[in-house]
Amino acid sequence: MEGIYQHFRKEEYAFIDQILDITVQVENEYTPRLTDFLDPRQRFITETVIGSYETIRVEFFGGSEHSERKRALIYPDYYEPQEADFKIALFHIRYPVKFTALSHQKILGTLMSLGVKREVFGDILNEGEEWQFFLDEEMADYVSGQLEKIGKVNVMLEKIPLDDALISVEEWEEQMITTASLRLDAVLGSALNLSRQKAKQMVVSGLVKVNWKTIENPDFECEEQDVLSARGYGRLKLMLIHGRTKKNKIRLDIGFLK
Protein backbone atom coordinates (compact mmCIF):
# COMPACT_ATOMS: atom_id res chain seq x y z
CA MET A 1 0.00 0.00 0.00
CA GLU A 2 2.97 2.32 0.55
CA GLY A 3 3.48 2.47 -3.21
CA ILE A 4 0.16 4.23 -3.80
CA TYR A 5 1.59 7.58 -2.67
CA GLN A 6 4.06 7.75 -5.55
CA HIS A 7 1.17 8.22 -8.00
CA PHE A 8 -0.12 11.39 -6.32
CA ARG A 9 1.04 14.81 -5.20
CA LYS A 10 2.26 15.39 -1.66
CA GLU A 11 -0.62 17.73 -0.89
CA GLU A 12 -2.98 14.81 -1.56
CA TYR A 13 -1.35 12.45 0.96
CA ALA A 14 -3.61 13.57 3.83
CA PHE A 15 -6.72 12.72 1.83
CA ILE A 16 -5.24 9.33 0.86
CA ASP A 17 -4.64 8.63 4.57
CA GLN A 18 -8.25 9.58 5.31
CA ILE A 19 -9.62 7.14 2.73
CA LEU A 20 -7.23 4.42 3.89
CA ASP A 21 -8.45 4.85 7.48
CA ILE A 22 -12.08 4.53 6.41
CA THR A 23 -11.31 1.50 4.26
CA VAL A 24 -9.51 -0.27 7.11
CA GLN A 25 -12.54 0.35 9.33
CA VAL A 26 -14.85 -1.14 6.71
CA GLU A 27 -12.54 -4.14 6.36
CA ASN A 28 -12.29 -4.71 10.10
CA GLU A 29 -15.91 -4.01 11.02
CA TYR A 30 -17.42 -5.41 7.81
CA THR A 31 -19.91 -2.55 7.60
CA PRO A 32 -20.34 0.34 5.11
CA ARG A 33 -18.95 3.83 5.73
CA LEU A 34 -19.98 7.09 4.08
CA THR A 35 -17.73 10.05 3.22
CA ASP A 36 -18.54 13.75 2.85
CA PHE A 37 -19.12 15.16 -0.64
CA LEU A 38 -16.02 14.67 -2.81
CA ASP A 39 -14.87 16.54 -5.89
CA PRO A 40 -13.94 14.54 -9.03
CA ARG A 41 -10.22 14.46 -8.17
CA GLN A 42 -10.94 13.09 -4.70
CA ARG A 43 -13.19 10.44 -6.22
CA PHE A 44 -10.40 9.36 -8.55
CA ILE A 45 -8.05 9.00 -5.57
CA THR A 46 -10.72 7.06 -3.65
CA GLU A 47 -11.24 4.64 -6.54
CA THR A 48 -7.49 4.10 -6.79
CA VAL A 49 -7.19 3.31 -3.08
CA ILE A 50 -10.20 0.99 -3.01
CA GLY A 51 -8.98 -0.79 -6.14
CA SER A 52 -6.15 -2.36 -4.14
CA TYR A 53 -8.60 -4.18 -1.83
CA GLU A 54 -10.14 -7.40 -3.10
CA THR A 55 -13.19 -7.45 -0.82
CA ILE A 56 -13.99 -3.72 -0.58
CA ARG A 57 -16.09 -1.73 -3.06
CA VAL A 58 -17.00 1.93 -3.53
CA GLU A 59 -19.98 3.65 -5.11
CA PHE A 60 -20.57 7.37 -5.63
CA PHE A 61 -23.77 9.43 -5.59
CA GLY A 62 -24.36 13.16 -5.28
CA GLY A 63 -28.12 13.44 -5.47
CA SER A 64 -28.47 13.08 -9.24
CA GLU A 65 -26.62 11.33 -12.04
CA HIS A 66 -25.20 14.67 -13.24
CA SER A 67 -23.74 15.74 -9.87
CA GLU A 68 -20.15 16.98 -9.83
CA ARG A 69 -19.68 16.60 -6.08
CA LYS A 70 -20.62 13.14 -4.79
CA ARG A 71 -20.48 11.16 -1.57
CA ALA A 72 -18.62 7.86 -1.53
CA LEU A 73 -20.06 4.76 0.09
CA ILE A 74 -17.22 2.37 0.90
CA TYR A 75 -18.59 -1.08 1.65
CA PRO A 76 -17.75 -4.81 1.91
CA ASP A 77 -18.49 -6.81 -1.23
CA TYR A 78 -21.48 -8.60 0.32
CA TYR A 79 -23.39 -5.33 0.69
CA GLU A 80 -25.87 -3.97 -1.88
CA PRO A 81 -25.96 -0.13 -1.72
CA GLN A 82 -29.27 1.75 -1.85
CA GLU A 83 -29.83 5.41 -2.70
CA ALA A 84 -30.94 6.07 0.87
CA ASP A 85 -27.50 4.95 2.14
CA PHE A 86 -25.98 8.19 0.80
CA LYS A 87 -28.10 10.34 3.14
CA ILE A 88 -28.53 13.31 0.81
CA ALA A 89 -31.15 16.04 1.12
CA LEU A 90 -32.22 18.49 -1.61
CA PHE A 91 -33.46 21.99 -0.87
CA HIS A 92 -35.17 24.41 -3.23
CA ILE A 93 -34.58 28.09 -2.41
CA ARG A 94 -37.78 30.17 -2.45
CA TYR A 95 -37.20 33.93 -2.79
CA PRO A 96 -38.85 37.03 -4.36
CA VAL A 97 -37.59 36.54 -7.93
CA LYS A 98 -39.23 39.75 -9.20
CA PHE A 99 -37.17 41.98 -6.95
CA THR A 100 -33.74 40.36 -6.69
CA ALA A 101 -31.34 37.80 -8.12
CA LEU A 102 -29.23 35.10 -6.50
CA SER A 103 -25.84 33.75 -7.56
CA HIS A 104 -23.73 30.67 -6.90
CA GLN A 105 -21.20 32.79 -5.01
CA LYS A 106 -23.83 34.41 -2.76
CA ILE A 107 -25.48 31.08 -1.94
CA LEU A 108 -22.21 29.29 -1.18
CA GLY A 109 -20.94 32.21 0.89
CA THR A 110 -24.12 32.21 2.99
CA LEU A 111 -24.01 28.44 3.50
CA MET A 112 -20.39 28.64 4.63
CA SER A 113 -21.24 31.47 7.04
CA LEU A 114 -23.39 29.02 9.00
CA GLY A 115 -20.19 27.52 10.39
CA VAL A 116 -20.52 24.29 8.39
CA LYS A 117 -17.61 22.89 6.37
CA ARG A 118 -17.82 22.94 2.55
CA GLU A 119 -17.72 19.14 2.33
CA VAL A 120 -21.19 18.93 3.90
CA PHE A 121 -22.70 20.53 0.78
CA GLY A 122 -22.98 19.03 -2.68
CA ASP A 123 -23.76 20.81 -5.92
CA ILE A 124 -25.57 24.13 -6.11
CA LEU A 125 -27.97 23.87 -9.04
CA ASN A 126 -29.38 26.64 -11.19
CA GLU A 127 -31.86 26.90 -14.03
CA GLY A 128 -33.03 30.42 -14.84
CA GLU A 129 -34.31 31.96 -11.61
CA GLU A 130 -34.50 28.62 -9.80
CA TRP A 131 -31.83 27.55 -7.30
CA GLN A 132 -31.32 24.31 -5.37
CA PHE A 133 -28.56 22.65 -3.37
CA PHE A 134 -27.70 19.20 -2.02
CA LEU A 135 -26.38 18.60 1.48
CA ASP A 136 -25.75 15.93 4.08
CA GLU A 137 -29.15 14.75 5.33
CA GLU A 138 -27.92 14.88 8.92
CA MET A 139 -27.38 18.65 8.58
CA ALA A 140 -30.75 19.37 6.94
CA ASP A 141 -32.60 20.48 10.08
CA TYR A 142 -29.75 22.72 11.22
CA VAL A 143 -29.31 24.44 7.85
CA SER A 144 -33.05 24.92 7.24
CA GLY A 145 -33.43 26.35 10.74
CA GLN A 146 -30.52 28.79 10.41
CA LEU A 147 -30.72 30.03 6.83
CA GLU A 148 -33.27 32.84 6.56
CA LYS A 149 -31.43 35.30 4.32
CA ILE A 150 -28.99 35.16 1.44
CA GLY A 151 -27.31 38.54 1.48
CA LYS A 152 -30.17 40.91 2.21
CA VAL A 153 -32.74 38.67 0.54
CA ASN A 154 -35.31 36.84 2.64
CA VAL A 155 -35.46 33.19 1.60
CA MET A 156 -37.30 30.03 2.56
CA LEU A 157 -35.89 26.55 2.09
CA GLU A 158 -38.20 23.83 0.83
CA LYS A 159 -37.04 20.24 1.12
CA ILE A 160 -37.97 18.36 -2.05
CA PRO A 161 -37.43 14.82 -3.46
CA LEU A 162 -34.10 14.10 -5.18
CA ASP A 163 -36.01 13.26 -8.35
CA ASP A 164 -36.99 16.95 -8.61
CA ALA A 165 -33.38 18.15 -8.90
CA LEU A 166 -32.62 20.62 -11.68
CA ILE A 167 -30.50 19.15 -14.48
CA SER A 168 -27.11 20.76 -14.93
CA VAL A 169 -24.68 19.15 -17.41
CA GLU A 170 -21.16 20.45 -18.07
CA GLU A 171 -20.08 21.05 -21.67
CA TRP A 172 -16.43 21.60 -22.64
CA GLU A 173 -15.21 23.39 -25.76
CA GLU A 174 -11.77 22.07 -26.72
CA GLN A 175 -8.87 24.05 -28.15
CA MET A 176 -5.20 23.21 -28.80
CA ILE A 177 -2.57 25.50 -27.29
CA THR A 178 1.19 25.51 -26.77
CA THR A 179 2.99 26.47 -23.59
CA ALA A 180 6.62 26.80 -22.52
CA SER A 181 6.16 24.47 -19.55
CA LEU A 182 3.55 22.77 -17.37
CA ARG A 183 4.04 25.29 -14.57
CA LEU A 184 0.68 26.61 -13.40
CA ASP A 185 1.42 30.22 -14.35
CA ALA A 186 2.64 29.16 -17.81
CA VAL A 187 -0.40 26.99 -18.58
CA LEU A 188 -2.79 29.61 -17.24
CA GLY A 189 -1.15 32.40 -19.22
CA SER A 190 -1.17 30.43 -22.47
CA ALA A 191 -4.75 29.21 -22.08
CA LEU A 192 -6.21 32.61 -21.15
CA ASN A 193 -3.92 34.76 -23.32
CA LEU A 194 -2.44 36.48 -20.28
CA SER A 195 1.12 37.60 -19.71
CA ARG A 196 3.22 35.25 -17.59
CA GLN A 197 3.49 37.99 -14.96
CA LYS A 198 -0.28 38.54 -14.84
CA ALA A 199 -0.91 34.79 -14.50
CA LYS A 200 1.74 34.52 -11.78
CA GLN A 201 0.20 37.39 -9.83
CA MET A 202 -3.23 35.75 -9.96
CA VAL A 203 -1.77 32.53 -8.57
CA VAL A 204 0.14 34.12 -5.68
CA SER A 205 -2.95 36.23 -4.85
CA GLY A 206 -4.97 33.06 -4.24
CA LEU A 207 -7.25 33.55 -7.23
CA VAL A 208 -6.50 30.19 -8.89
CA LYS A 209 -7.59 26.67 -8.00
CA VAL A 210 -6.35 23.33 -9.30
CA ASN A 211 -8.69 20.40 -8.79
CA TRP A 212 -10.89 22.55 -6.54
CA LYS A 213 -8.02 23.49 -4.19
CA THR A 214 -6.43 26.98 -4.03
CA ILE A 215 -2.82 26.85 -5.22
CA GLU A 216 -0.58 29.85 -4.53
CA ASN A 217 2.65 28.42 -5.96
CA PRO A 218 3.29 29.47 -9.60
CA ASP A 219 5.81 26.60 -9.94
CA PHE A 220 3.07 24.02 -9.32
CA GLU A 221 3.30 21.37 -12.07
CA CYS A 222 0.05 20.71 -13.92
CA GLU A 223 -0.87 17.23 -15.12
CA GLU A 224 -3.27 15.73 -17.64
CA GLN A 225 -6.94 15.92 -16.52
CA ASP A 226 -6.23 18.71 -14.01
CA VAL A 227 -9.12 21.17 -13.69
CA LEU A 228 -8.06 24.81 -13.31
CA SER A 229 -10.25 27.74 -12.35
CA ALA A 230 -9.26 31.40 -12.25
CA ARG A 231 -11.52 33.96 -10.63
CA GLY A 232 -13.18 36.03 -13.31
CA TYR A 233 -12.11 33.70 -16.13
CA GLY A 234 -14.05 30.49 -15.49
CA ARG A 235 -12.87 26.90 -15.55
CA LEU A 236 -10.60 24.98 -17.91
CA LYS A 237 -9.30 21.41 -18.09
CA LEU A 238 -6.07 19.86 -19.41
CA MET A 239 -7.66 17.29 -21.68
CA LEU A 240 -4.53 15.84 -23.30
CA ILE A 241 -0.78 16.48 -23.31
CA HIS A 242 0.52 15.70 -26.82
CA GLY A 243 4.25 16.30 -26.34
CA ARG A 244 6.72 18.89 -27.59
CA THR A 245 6.82 20.84 -30.84
CA LYS A 246 9.97 21.42 -32.93
CA LYS A 247 10.45 24.66 -31.00
CA ASN A 248 10.36 22.68 -27.73
CA LYS A 249 6.94 23.99 -26.72
CA ILE A 250 4.44 21.65 -25.07
CA ARG A 251 1.25 21.09 -27.07
CA LEU A 252 -1.96 20.66 -25.06
CA ASP A 253 -5.65 20.13 -25.66
CA ILE A 254 -7.49 22.49 -23.30
CA GLY A 255 -11.20 22.28 -22.53
CA PHE A 256 -13.08 25.49 -21.64
CA LEU A 257 -16.27 25.11 -19.67
CA LYS A 258 -19.13 26.65 -21.63
Please name each of the domains of the chain with its CATH number.
2-83 (3.30.1370.160), 88-164 (3.30.70.330), 172-257 (3.10.290.10)
Question: pLDDT per residue over 195-230, tens digit each?
Answer: 999 999 999 999 999 998 899 999 999 999 999 999
Say how many C-beta atoms besides its own lie within 10 A of residue 51's C-beta.
12
Q: Which residues of 165-175 are buried (b: 16+ CB within 10 A; e: fewer)?
A: bbeeeeeeeee
- From the centroid of its chain, how far is CA 73? 17
pLDDT in tens, the chain (258 residues): 567 888 788 889 999 999 999 999 999 999 999 999 999 999 999 999 999 899 999 999 999 988 999 999 999 999 999 999 999 999 999 999 888 888 888 898 899 999 989 999 999 999 889 999 999 999 999 999 999 999 888 999 999 999 999 987 777 899 999 999 999 999 999 999 999 999 999 999 999 999 988 999 999 999 999 999 998 888 999 999 998 999 999 999 999 987
Between CA 93 and CA 154 the distance in angstroms is 10
- Which strands, in side-by-side order, build the sheet including 156-160? 121-127, 130-136, 88-94, 156-160
How far is the CA of 30 from the CAs of 18, 179, 188, in angstroms? 18, 49, 45
Burial of 222: CB neighbours in 10 Å, binned 0-12, 13-18, 19+:
buried
